Structure 1
């Protein structure tokens, strides 16, 4: 059953600690290749960031507003990670979120701020947000719980636990 999903805004999402900026097609290519700009923190892009950019390069332009965004730390203007969806919402209206930060940016509330912004935007567009995380990734589980996700009985093909926001 397809739900009514509106377009996700391409505008930056502004939070208290982070600013989320959609990667341009040129930045997708750069991040996919592991390239860097002077406003990227040490260690960014990580392999997961490059993998996300590669996924969206293969997907094409049509659904790019659901793709990966830089997580830019407001305190210094550096990109410290990425957040985005694995694709536009599926036939059930669900969109899976993925995210990560460089080690030096963790445990500062940045990912919690980024998740809250992304979830609010997706839900405003009519999507239900889900996530998967490894059983031993306590930091990710904590961030999801803080954002109002609950663990359900599902797992993905990698055995990662499924979390969803209540409908």
Structure 2
């Protein structure tokens, strides 16, 4: 039950940031981008609600969810980041199942701790899903500021919410 409760939670800070971004696009009369952002946000909310009621989803569904999430983050950060999701071609994305929202918290941590304070160059998040003898290996990497630098920022910033990731 605790696992299901955690899956059903979407970071309130992320929701606030999305709504704030949509509001800024409306204020600046960038209706096309506001509509694009709102469409992606509504899709993400719908997928979150659908997936949180299931114990397992397909790799394909998780990849779609991650793509939607990271596309919104890319819009929010004004294209200062890129992402790539690479699934081993030997994995059938429609028949291999994993718990829902198991990868997203790591991608969110890459954004929040790795890329947010990056000042030079474009940020990159790479997600790789590989088949191994024991099952699957999922790797989330970023080219952000690194753990020691992120820890330094963490000690001087106000914590707005308790992360569930």
TM-score with structure 1 setting the length: 0.29
- Greater strand share, 1 or 2? 1
- Greater helix share, 1 or 2? 2
